[in-house]
């Protein structure tokens, strides 16, 4: 997608420092761009994305709770603030930047002095640019000196990252360009509804569909599943849809590998040369014969054998043109998510797919910068360049770049769910800084999260619209959006992409880079490192800090990325070590000749980047992929009397994440205006819940209400609900916060619920929960009714 600034004159408010020439708040024109991943395609969210820039309730000035202002702040009369009927009596009022930052710094300093550095926590987001994610991690560890930092990517990619790191030695969602999928004869897609979550990516499945090799594993017959097997279609079948019992995907994978081994379909030469641990894995799947898998998952044994043979026929060892195994959140957001990813990798390795052009394993990344966001320091246990924070050499390298003593850097923190649970508890954080996340809606067991947020001494939220989390905050700081800032993002395939500002931010909105620099100046001492605010300068520092790490950006800069794009280059995929990394003709690892790198603008031979990983070796000490035996246990919240149905959650085409942005786009809101529950007509008839009825789902954690939609696309024992709404329609009020023991990822995707009609008396008393809109001058807390479970 590319943007063109509209003529100046439509916006109002003072421009931020170094802002682009476009008008503040003016909506740019969205035009498709012929990029390798989308080839000019955009989904509805992409086409309407400019509308978010002009949201009528955009936050344009710092806001502070009236009760926190000691007397009047210069230029502001707290008594003159505007609230709304029914607010808490302690509204958010506008204050100058200096007053807001002074207040935050003073409160943080006081809490740290009284309770220690661990009393302050930071929660980031997978939508932040690489530069902002890097600066946030640096700020937490060198200014706040707290180990308590994590981000919402823990809800997204943690299990895939844990599985890939364990098996391959490095985590890059797709270790190959997305376009490589187009040449595949078969694609096994588990737990991902690409047709609705990433519609432009569907075109890369055309080859597999044409060959009848698209296999979709999903308990629902989603839009993507219908691409593989739609009974209503007049076209020949283009693949297979497997609809397992929710939470049994791991058993399906174990069964597929059992068939591959039992029928002699594995690539034995590849396994001997490029892997370790095969014997243990072979023994572990011996007991998962197809008929047993059928009894656990409901997937017919004949279909398991059919799919295993289909994948094997596409594998290079059997003369096929290539096969891929891909996982998504549907199988990863589980207490056995890491084990499921590991089983998917084991299957791919048994077929000899990873590290071969045209084949492989990959994980579909969900957030805009889900890949880059976890590479440079937001994650609880990581430093820039995807280094481990408990590695002495990594600590020494990064500390040298930052100019601090490595002994002053804190150790690893705790994953997101544990961090949120600890807020306001004895010994836990008493203050939280939130950047790029709306945990009130997006976290599991959301009612408990709300209570933890309310217990804090200080909640500071950086946001550009009054999200549900911002409405609970003590201080809200207005920040820039995607079209208003410079920086970089990293795609799901490891391609580093430039983000450019085309319009000025409205009012007094500022970049987090500026906010962090101002807070560092107030909180830091003589040993505090500098916090540059120019994104290009921050990126150069990030590149130095990443040098030698798994995600090595040291050969990149904004200038090089711009030059590559301007010349129509292929793009640059990490790792990209600083050049000249090798001399043309010099022998590389294993005696393989290193090809000549093209000369860059300086005349030196620059590293060309690494579009495809593992072609020669895996990123493990011995260069071999590790196969790890795993076993199926099942979901933590199994169906039982009182909660006899499975609930699965997911997205819809028109909305994104918590909906804080897309609910503010009239066109998208008109298409899907309210939450709903999909249930099979057999279940609806049995429970007396007609299509359109008001339905209540109840779990051990809370309840949620929405409108029933009858559909045969869902299993009769399962209901589906999207997670883009707040209030009584917030499905995360009922999801479980049980987590994977390795990755820390919560089990969003399956839990046990009761399904019943909303009592008529409740319906009569219930009032619709409107989309929150507040004035630009005062944004009160949500009422108890809006946030109650």
Residue 590 — pLDDT band, cuts 50, 70, 90? Answer: very low
Give the pLDDT confidence score for residue 772 in this predicted structure: 35
User: Is pLDDT of 775 > 90?
Assistant: no
Give the pLDDT confidence score for residue 641 in this predicted structure: 95
Residues 152 and 437: beta-carbon distance below 8 Å: yes
Q: Which of 493, 377, 488 is nearest to 435 (CA)?
A: 377
Q: CA 522, 524, 529, 534: dihedral to nearest 10 degrees?
A: -20
> How big is the CA angle at 576 (ends 571 and 578), to the nearest 5 degrees?
125
Give the pLDDT confidence score for residue 699 in this predicted structure: 94
> Which pairs from 690-697 meet CB under 8 Å and 24+ separation?
693/757, 694/757, 694/758, 694/763, 695/755, 695/756, 695/757, 695/758, 696/755, 696/756, 696/757, 696/758, 697/647, 697/721, 697/731, 697/734, 697/753, 697/754, 697/755
User: Is pLDDT of 49 > 90?
Assistant: no
Residue 112 — pLDDT band, cuts 50, 70, 90? Answer: very high
Which H or E run contains 103?
A: helix 97-115
Give the pLDDT confidence score for residue 553 in this predicted structure: 97
Give the pLDDT confidence score for residue 469 in this predicted structure: 94
pLDDT digits (tens, 9 = 90+) for 451-493: 999 999 999 999 999 999 999 999 999 999 988 999 999 999 9
Token readout for 313 is: 């026929």
Q: Which of 664, 662, 504 is nearest to 46 (CA)?
A: 662
Residue 448 — pLDDT band, cuts 50, 70, 90? Answer: very high
User: Is pLDDT of 765 > 90?
Assistant: no
The answer to which of 328-332, 390-394, 629-633 has the lowest mean pLDDT is 328-332
In 3-state terms, what secondary structure has residue 146? coil
User: Is pLDDT of 737 > 60?
Assistant: yes
Give the pLDDT confidence score for residue 309 in this predicted structure: 98
User: Is pLDDT of 143 > 70?
Assistant: yes
- 230 vs 234: CA distance, rounded Å: 9
pLDDT digits (tens, 9 = 90+) for 92-102: 999 999 999 99
Rounded to 10 deg, the angle between the 558-566 and 535-546 helix axes is: 100
User: Is pLDDT of 685 > 70?
Assistant: yes
Give the pLDDT confidence score for residue 785 in this predicted structure: 32
Q: Where do the H-state alpha helices sit in 617-680? A: 666-671
- 748 vs 76: CA distance, rounded Å: 44
Residues 687 and 755: beta-carbon distance below 8 Å: yes
- 750 vs 735: CA distance, rounded Å: 8
Residue 44 — pLDDT band, cuts 50, 70, 90? Answer: low
User: Is pLDDT of 777 > 70?
Assistant: no
In 3-state terms, what secondary structure has residue 388? strand
Summarize the confidence of residues 691-715 as an average pLDDT. 94
Give the pLDDT confidence score for residue 281 in this predicted structure: 98
Place of tokens 């490891």: 494
Query: Residue 60: which residues within 8 A CB-CB, separation 6 or more?
Result: 13, 478, 506, 507, 508, 509, 776
- Cβ atoms < 10 Å from Cβ of 638: 12
- 556 vs 559: CA distance, rounded Å: 8
Summarize the confidence of residues 745-772 as an average pLDDT. 72
Query: Residue 472: which residues within 8 A CB-CB, separation 6 or more?
Result: 440, 450, 453, 454, 459, 461, 781, 782, 787
Give the pLDDT confidence score for residue 52 in this predicted structure: 78
Residue 83 — pLDDT band, cuts 50, 70, 90? Answer: very low
Summarize the confidence of residues 426-434 as an average pLDDT. 97
Higher pLDDT, 570 or 358: 358
User: Is pLDDT of 151 > 70?
Assistant: yes
Residue 315 — pLDDT band, cuts 50, 70, 90? Answer: very high
User: Is pLDDT of 22 > 80?
Assistant: no
Residue 301 — pLDDT band, cuts 50, 70, 90? Answer: very high
Residues 36 and 201: beta-carbon distance below 8 Å: no
pLDDT digits (tens, 9 = 90+) for 615-663: 999 999 999 999 999 999 999 999 999 999 999 988 776 666 666 666 6
Token readout for 658 is: 């918590």
In 3-state terms, what secondary structure has residue 725? coil
Summarize the confidence of residues 234-246 as an average pLDDT. 84
pLDDT digits (tens, 9 = 90+) for 160-169: 999 999 999 9
Residues 550 and 170: beta-carbon distance below 8 Å: yes
The answer to which of 82-86, 186-190, 338-342, 689-693 has the lowest mean pLDDT is 82-86
What residues form DSSP beta bridges with 123? 150, 434
Residues 96 and 76: beta-carbon distance below 8 Å: yes
Cα 217 from chain centre: 21
- 603 vs 90: CA distance, rounded Å: 62
Residues 200 and 33: beta-carbon distance below 8 Å: no
Q: Which of 109, 126, 105 is nearest to 117 (CA)?
A: 109
Give the pLDDT confidence score for residue 147 in this predicted structure: 97
Query: Residue 756: which residues within 8 A CB-CB, separation 6 or more?
Result: 687, 689, 695, 696, 698
Residues 502 and 22: beta-carbon distance below 8 Å: yes
Strand-pair category, 431-435 with 275-276: unpaired
- Cβ atoms < 10 Å from Cβ of 591: 6
Residues 552 and 387: beta-carbon distance below 8 Å: no
Give the pLDDT confidence score for residue 20 in this predicted structure: 54
Which H or E run contains 488?
A: strand 487-490
- 538 vs 113: CA distance, rounded Å: 30
Q: Which of 61, 51, 53, 76 is nearest to 776 (CA)?
A: 61
- 359 vs 315: CA distance, rounded Å: 8
Give the pLDDT confidence score for residue 382 in this predicted structure: 94
Q: Which of 332, 351, 352 is nearest to 342 (CA)?
A: 332
Averaged pLDDT of the chain: 86
In 3-state terms, what secondary structure has residue 719? strand
Residue 86 — pLDDT band, cuts 50, 70, 90? Answer: very low
User: Is pLDDT of 417 > 50?
Assistant: yes
Place of tokens 């003590």: 474
Higher pLDDT, 443 or 132: 132
Give the pLDDT confidence score for residue 601 in this predicted structure: 46
In this prediction, what percent of the chain has a pLDDT beyond 90? 68
> How big is the CA angle at 248 (ends 757 and 646), to the nearest 5 degrees?
5
Residue 153 — pLDDT band, cuts 50, 70, 90? Answer: confident
Q: 674, exposed or middle or buried, with CB in 10 Å at 0-12, 13-18, 19+?
A: exposed
Q: Which of 337, 25, 323, 339 is nearest to 185 (CA)?
A: 323
- 147 vs 278: CA distance, rounded Å: 38
- 181 vs 171: CA distance, rounded Å: 19
The answer to which of 426-435, 580-589, 611-620, 678-687 has the lowest mean pLDDT is 580-589
């Amino acid at each position: 997608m590319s943007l063109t600034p509209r003529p100046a004159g439509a916006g109002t408010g003072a421009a931020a420092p170094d802002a682009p020439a476009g008008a503040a708040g003016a909506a740019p024109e969205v035009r498709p761009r012929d990029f390798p991943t989308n080839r000019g395609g955009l989904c509805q969210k992409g086409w309407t994305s400019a509308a978010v820039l002009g949201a009528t309730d955009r936050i344009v000035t710092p806001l502070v709770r009236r009760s926190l202002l000691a007397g009047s702040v210069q230029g502001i009369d707290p008594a003159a603030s505007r609230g709304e009927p029914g607010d808490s009596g302690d509204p958010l009022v506008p204050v100058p930047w200096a007053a807001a930052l002074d207040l935050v710094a003073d409160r943080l300093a006081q809490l740290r002095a009284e309770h220690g550095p661990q009393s302050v926590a930071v929660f980031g987001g997978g939508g932040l640019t690489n530069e902002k994610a890097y600066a946030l991690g640096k700020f937490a560890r060198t200014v706040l000196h707290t180990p308590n930092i994590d981000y919402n990517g823990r809800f997204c990619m943690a299990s895939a990252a844990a599985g890939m790191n364990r098996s391959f030695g490095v985590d890059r969602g797709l270790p190959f360009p997305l376009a490589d999928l187009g040449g595949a004869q078969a694609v096994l897609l588990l737990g991902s509804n690409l047709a609705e979550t990433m519609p432009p990516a569907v075109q890369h499945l055309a080859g597999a569909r044409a060959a009848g090799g698209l296999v979709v594993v999903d308990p629902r017959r989603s839009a993507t599943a219908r691409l593989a097997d739609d009974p209503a279609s007049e076209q020949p079948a283009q693949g297979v849809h497997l609809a397992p019992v929710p939470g049994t995907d791991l058993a399906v994978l174990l069964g597929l590998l059992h068939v591959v081994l039992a029928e002699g379909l594995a690539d034995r030469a590849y396994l001997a040369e490029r892997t370790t641990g095969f014997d243990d894995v072979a023994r572990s799947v011996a007991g998962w014969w197809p008929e047993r898998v059928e009894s656990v998952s409901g997937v017919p044994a004949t279909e398991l054998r059919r799919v295993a043979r289909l994948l094997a026929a596409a594998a290079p060892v059997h003369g096929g043109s290539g096969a891929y195994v891909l996982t998504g959140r549907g199988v990863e957001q589980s207490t056995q998510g890491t084990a499921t990813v590991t089983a998917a990798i084991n299957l791919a390795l048994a077929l000899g797919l990873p590290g071969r052009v045209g084949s492989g394993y990959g994980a579909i990344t969900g957030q805009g910068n889900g890949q880059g966001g976890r590479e440079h320091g937001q994650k609880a246990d990581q430093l820039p360049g995807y280094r481990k924070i408990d590695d002495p050499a990594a600590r020494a390298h990064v500390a040298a770049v930052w100019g601090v003593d490595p002994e002053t850097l804190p150790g690893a923190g705790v994953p997101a769910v544990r961090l949120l649970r600890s807020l306001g508890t004895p010994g836990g954080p008493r203050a939280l800084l939130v950047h790029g996340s709306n945990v009130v809606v997006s976290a599991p067991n959301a009612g408990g999260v709300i209570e933890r947020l309310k217990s804090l001494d200080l909640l500071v939220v950086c946001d550009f619209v009054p999200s549900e989390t911002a409405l609970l905050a003590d201080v809200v700081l207005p920040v820039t959006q995607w079209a208003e800032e410079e920086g970089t993002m990293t795609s799901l395939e490891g391609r580093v992409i430039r983000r450019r500002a085309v319009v000025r931010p409205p009012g007094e909105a500022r970049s987090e880079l500026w906010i962090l620099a101002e807070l560092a100046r107030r909180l830091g001492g003589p040993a505090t490192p500098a916090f540059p605010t120019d994104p290009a300068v921050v990126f150069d520092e990030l590149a130095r800090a990443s040098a030698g790490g798994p995600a090595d950006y040291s050969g990149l800069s904004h200038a090089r990325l711009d030059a590559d794009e301007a010349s129509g280059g292929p793009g640059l995929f990490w790792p990209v070590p600083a050049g000249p990394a090798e001399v043309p003709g010099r022998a590389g690892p294993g005696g393989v000749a290193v090809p000549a790198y093209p000369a860059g603008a300086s005349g030196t031979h620059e590293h060309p980047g690494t579009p495809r990983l593992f072609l020669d070796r895996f990123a493990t000490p011995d260069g071999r992929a590790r196969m790890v035996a795993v076993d199926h246990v099942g979901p933590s919240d199994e169906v039982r009397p009182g909660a006899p149905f499975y609930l699965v959650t997911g997205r819809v085409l028109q909305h994104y994440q918590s909906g804080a942005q897309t609910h503010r786009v009239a066109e998208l809101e008109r298409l899907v205006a309210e939450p709903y529950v999909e249930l099979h007509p057999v279940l609806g008839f049995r429970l007396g819940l007609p299509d359109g009825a008001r339905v209540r789902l109840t779990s051990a954690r809370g309840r949620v209400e929405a409108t029933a939609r009858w559909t045969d696309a869902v299993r009769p024992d399962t209901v589906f609900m999207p997670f883009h709404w707040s209030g009584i329609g917030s499905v995360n009020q009922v999801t479980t916060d049980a987590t994977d023991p390795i990755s820390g990822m919560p089990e969003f995707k399956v839990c046990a619920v009761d399904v019943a009609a909303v009592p008529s008396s409740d319906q009569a008393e219930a009032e619709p929960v409107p989309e929150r809109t507040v004035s630009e001058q005062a944004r009160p807390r949500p009422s108890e009714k809006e946030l109650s479970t």
